[in-house]
Structure 1
């Protein structure tokens, strides 16, 4: 009896003391992320993209508020977060665009002072912050990533033209082999020019003034397969995804993404910022997806890709493709109600592209093409086939949360910009950054054909970077969501409860 009582008291003490040796903690829920701490790094552009090194418990955040720097944040005493120093790389080039970490190495994507010239990747030791190597890549490296095995560093080199559109470098992807003394191979897209007519029929866009196919391509973001053999690169302005073989250093194919039919109820959107209400409706519009970020994940033995379909227009001093619907001449046969349709409270305020839609070349528009999918899409990585599109669902969740910004209805809505996928409780979970409503939408994507909405998390202003630090690598042993918020210069940390 005495032994039984002693055992009971021991068990009770273990419970009260929160002992986890024999009583594992509740793993928590991906629908329960709550803000736990934050740090303010400055104003606009002071917090753009972040990467975490679990060995040193440092977070590296791109800060371009006044110069090209990467701030080093110390998370070793989390939830206390302190800025320990800044890495000043302004003398090595222009603006820092992206960071990535792998095996004690920090890679920084740095555009040239002249944006149309070749940029570079700077590799540093995460402990000493000493420079290991600086490697020349293509023009305007906008995103950098390590392959899961750490062998490759890949950059998406956007190759934007200058404001006068007199210089337009070729868009490219650079593959750096870390194991071969950082040898680099930069790939361009001119070989696909002969396929353009077929690609264009399926929604691929090449339209810059005087641009060749290779110059018009603008790589934006990279995802790499779990086996480190393939890379998938969004070509945002072109409305496509490029598939690359990293082992051979070749571009395998281009996947055109087609358009989203806003005349279908499932794709309803709010098209006006002058209707004094938030209301999703159907309209005779086809919208290009134009994805920004992309992430890869696997479930049930198959590999998938998820894209954040932000939308983006070419807008330069010498060339701006955007037009309001009210400013266009619409074909009277296709749009018999054009006068009503072009009122500001209906479709008149919506921005569409002027580069496509005059099917019969008679000077009026037969089709209206908008910018952005206003949601996310999931594709089969092996075939490129669309498995799921969120339709109007993502914006409806923003409306339900009371955070939808009607001032953006005429443009690209909530503008999904960033996306990352993490395994939470053995399920792939997507975190989608919504730039225009300052929030992260969380979805269970274990069934890629039918994602389940879990949570809408308010962040700082204009979340640009979204990062998950898994529990086994985080400074407090819990899953952490980190957002780098470009609009207000904050980095916010959310803990899964």
Structure 2
């Protein structure tokens, strides 16, 4: 027998490498329109599933009435595999092997619901069978052993009828269909009634989501009824119970252009949407709400109805800390957790909670279901609806239903994430740990302070409570450490659109406000002290005011006694392709300007988003207003300071010569997502280290992502 001394054992164990921390990082973003015959048509990716080998994705596309297929043999380079028409509205999909089971809504009206289950051979693209479901299907799930398919027949209510409440007949139910020889045995369809169970609208159950555990038991959410039902392997109701209510403190409850996590909600019905089994005894619900409720979090139940964990306000606050809180939804359902996915990766049980309105997914370790541990928050595209986990390939996939091209934003995408020992790339900036929690978003201007500190402002999305944020860039991710309220006579300064910030050299700040006459917001400059109180407000002289458009000052920088402002687009007296760099001397109060030459326009417009000064140069962000596949111009340029000699207003202005310093599109693609539109802020510290930040539009028709990118020293002077 080999015997080792204690010292030898310790020497051996310390020589072994430590287990690496595993993280998810996005590696690809697939635009769903790539699968459409006409790329200009509205498309969507809602519910998504994967083939057994994990190489093919299938998703429902309601606007086109199809299911779409994606080849992810190389997950970093997903490829379109086309679509299959469903002759109705596909609502959900589940897969066994290479066979897809698709619920299709064929209803003529709310009062005459109908639907079918289509069985599709994904490899051949052919339809194998169709079953009449007897009502409007929502969620579809398959047994772990592939022996049956179950469908939530919602027979959804008309939200425009009366108060949109219950009851609205006909009632919903669940169906269970055997699978024989790889296809559905329609003659064995079992209809499982759910009436008379819920205290809320008991005559009109509206099943929303189903899932099946390894024992063959089905759990189903009755969302509007705020109820949960467990159906035994024999197809009979085994247990049922109310989802209950929750009271919350420390949440934002008002749609008021402020992010204040100090509100209270009392006795809110959970109204769960998605549900997933964690093991044979526990399942988790995403408590989106739909009629009277929505508790903004998730709950883990035992199948007997015992609550073993409720997230309370923690999920919503985690979303807010990374800038994804949707203020325009705050008054009702907040971040709206809608999706749940679960699987075991490398022996670790992981729960994924998706926020539809926050466009983010939380990754939780649920080794102990009574004490989930938040591991990561991942950006998930616009309006994530469904997720599929592929643990055998260390992949996670999100389907994002919102096609926001009509609003100038991105099309619907499918996002692919890989779990590896690489560091987590997101979030890049957070306010986690601040007390009280600092809400933030829509960051625009940046300025460098000292000792690893930056200052940032948010634009008019939060105009009701304008702020200066302090950022510690020595931490990873960058940490928002404080917020200075901008006040006028002690009250929040209204009618501002802060787009630029620079230090005044005496402890205060100069701020550039972009005007908008339609909102009665004036163009101009604000001088604030260290506490944020406005000491001076400077409007435009007539020569500028009479020519101004709403595309005004997008940045401000100080050179000696002179403030230089970058104007975003041409004003009324500017030749096409030339924008003003406006100068204001704080001592003499004189105004002047020069012209900056923009790159030629492609699709959309081209303009400036920022100005900062380092060494002998002024640096600019020049960009188009295009996003994703249409983005062409996102760059840093520079102009020598000796060219910034302001000429009098009203006459011909000298045109400066610019030099391109860095194409930012590769940096914006480095996160594995689509290229975002608004690169808005840039700062250089004393050592020339450069930081850029993107504006997430306050998560309004946006993915909510904020990219905060340290670019290192890009100034050749060092």
Aligned residues: 379
Offset at 1:49? 1.1
The 8 Å contact of residues 173 and 192 in structure 2, kept in 1 or not, is answered as yes
Offset at 1:27? 8.1
Q: In the alignment, is residue 251 of structure 1 matched against residue 237 of structure 2?
A: yes
**1:376-407 alpha-carbon deviations (Å, 9 max, x no partner):** 000112x2200000011001111221221222
Could you say which residue in structure 2 is the equivalent of 1:312? 290
Offset at 1:45? 5.1
Could you say which residue in structure 2 is the equivalent of 1:152? 148
Could you say which residue in structure 2 is the equivalent of 1:341? none
**1:405-431 alpha-carbon deviations (Å, 9 max, x no partner):** 222110100000001111123121111
Q: Within 2, Cα distance between the matches of 1:138 and 1:466?
A: 27
The 8 Å contact of residues 138 and 173 in structure 1, kept in 2 or not, is answered as no
The 8 Å contact of residues 206 and 224 in structure 2, kept in 1 or not, is answered as yes
| Equivalent runs, 1:202-241 vs 2, <5 Å | 205-206=200-201, 213-214=202-203, 216-227=204-215, 229-241=216-228
Could you say which residue in structure 1 is the equivalent of 2:415? 492
Could you say which residue in structure 2 is the equivalent of 1:104? 98
The 8 Å contact of residues 52 and 97 in structure 2, kept in 1 or not, is answered as no
Offset at 1:56? 7.6
| Equivalent runs, 1:418-429 vs 2, <5 Å | 418-429=339-350
Could you say which residue in structure 1 is the equivalent of 2:59? 61
Could you say which residue in structure 1 is the equivalent of 2:31? 40
* Structure with larger Rg: 2
Higher relative contact order (CA 8 A, sep 6+): 1
The 8 Å contact of residues 304 and 379 in structure 1, kept in 2 or not, is answered as yes
Q: Within 1, Cα distance between the matches of 2:273 and 2:190?
A: 23
The 8 Å contact of residues 44 and 486 in structure 1, kept in 2 or not, is answered as no
Distance 1:25 1:294, change over 3 A: farther
Could you say which residue in structure 1 is the equivalent of 2:115? 119
| Equivalent runs, 1:348-363 vs 2, <5 Å | 353=292
TM-score by structure 2 length? 0.51
Q: Within 1, Cα distance between the matches of 2:217 and 2:376?
A: 31
Could you say which residue in structure 1 is the equivalent of 2:263? 281
TM-score by structure 1 length? 0.72
* Structure 2, unpaired ranges of 5+: 1-15, 34-40, 404-411, 421-718
Offset at 1:167? 6.7
Q: Within 2, Cα distance between the matches of 1:40 and 1:26?
A: 39
Offset at 1:269? 2.1
The 8 Å contact of residues 138 and 171 in structure 1, kept in 2 or not, is answered as no
The 8 Å contact of residues 117 and 131 in structure 2, kept in 1 or not, is answered as yes
Q: In the alignment, is residue 456 of structure 1 matched against residue 374 of structure 2?
A: no
Could you say which residue in structure 1 is the equivalent of 2:50? 52
Q: Within 1, Cα distance between the matches of 2:170 and 2:17?
A: 54
- Name the SS for the 1:397 alignment partner: helix
> What value does the CA root-mean-square deviation take over the aligned residues?
2.3
Distance 1:29 1:184, change over 3 A: farther
Within the candidate set 169, 174, 187, 2:192 is matched to 187
Offset at 1:25? 11
Distance 1:292 1:56, change over 3 A: closer
Offset at 1:296? 0.4
Distance 1:44 1:431, change over 3 A: farther
Q: Within 2, Cα distance between the matches of 1:484 and 1:252?
A: 33
Q: Within 2, Cα distance between the matches of 1:26 and 1:459?
A: 31
Within the candidate set 405, 409, 413, 2:326 is matched to 405
The 8 Å contact of residues 283 and 300 in structure 2, kept in 1 or not, is answered as yes
Could you say which residue in structure 2 is the equivalent of 1:210? none
Q: In the alignment, is residue 376 of structure 1 matched against residue 298 of structure 2?
A: yes
Q: In the alignment, is residue 172 of structure 1 matched against residue 173 of structure 2?
A: yes
